[in-house]
Amino acid sequence: MSRNSIREFEITDDIRKLGFSRIYATGKTLVLKSTATDSHIASPFYKDDIHKTVEGIKEVLMGHSFDERTITKLCTLFTQVWLASVEAEGRDAKNAQAQERNQRESIRQQIKQLKDANSGITTDKWVRRLNDKYQKLRQVVDRNIPELWPGLQFELSVLRILNIAGCTLPFIGIILGRPSSTKTVTINLPRKWYCTYYSDNFTAKAFVSHSTAVASKNELADIDMLPKIKDKLFLTPELSPMFSAKDDDLIQILGIITRIADGQGLMTDSGVYGQRGYDGKLMFTWVGAAVDIPHKVYKLLGNLGAKLYFFRMPYNNKTEE
């Protein structure tokens, strides 16, 4: 939940009978609307810890002279509502993922049908059709968001590297541009395409995870991001926070990115799970975006090798007219 968003909790009849008409969380605060005192009671909210949240409710309500029976009953009911809310969120997330998978599969099937229908097409005819589609796309963009074209053309070029026969060297391209220069719009356009993988936020260690939050080592393969981007276009709309990391962290981040950019996978070791990772050819392309890159990043890249490529968006200052 973002800092400014509001998470509403269901008010059951039993909660209403206890004298509360609304319970919601905003940031790190849980607010209870009391009909008995006609006031809003604020309590600490821990979005990932129901027990600490309930303990905070108890302490705050005791300070507002609520009787112990009411407090205990409310905390029990609120716990039930919380768990139901988490379960509903989980179902919504699974439904959204299933819908996205179905959408991607539908696109894949449409492409397969087009390929089958045009299996005997000549090279000249294929080139003419491709050029016609390219020009049509250019016309649509020029008519609606003309400033989008340079970044979109770059992004589509990076995507099509995946179609080059025998190409096994990943390509990482980062779009640089001022705020409101359509960087994010550009990256979002192919987000639902079947051969893309999108992430708003990630860590370099997510490529091969050694997290202790899972039950067993075997489950880590479901978490690893590296196999998820294999043979796909990896989309990351905001890389500025990553490049703003502390020097030691930045060296580690760029070291991992440089290694996977070799296209030979990534093997890492930890004191928890030992060695794990992926060895062998692993092709992908990557388009990210940032406002600008600090000078220290260029210095580090000079030592690590030319593995990241930058495309600076043209910018036209707009007048009121």
Domain borders along the chain are 6-90, 149-312
Query: In terms of CATH architecture, what is 149-312?
Result: 3-Layer(aba) Sandwich (3.40)
Predicted confidence (pLDDT) at residue 17 exceeds the cutoff of 60: yes
Question: CA–CA distance from 85 to each of 44, 76, 93, 94 (Å)?
Answer: 18, 14, 12, 14
Residue with the bigger pLDDT between 215 and 94: it is: 94
Predicted confidence (pLDDT) at residue 158 exceeds the cutoff of 50: yes
pLDDT digits (tens, 9 = 90+) for 92-141: 878 887 887 888 788 888 888 888 888 888 889 989 998 999 999 999 99
Residue with the bigger pLDDT between 1 and 143: it is: 143
Contacts 24+ apart (CB under 8 A), 296-304: 296/247, 296/250, 297/243, 297/250, 297/254, 300/250, 300/251, 300/254, 301/254, 304/254, 304/255, 304/258
Question: CA–CA distance from 318 to each of 147, 168, 181 (Å)?
Answer: 12, 42, 11
Q: What is the pTM of this model?
A: 0.67
The per-residue pLDDT of the chain, averaged, comes to 87
Predicted confidence (pLDDT) at residue 215 exceeds the cutoff of 70: no
Q: What is the pLDDT of residue 2?
A: 43
Confidence label for 154 from pLDDT (cuts 50, 70 and 90): very high
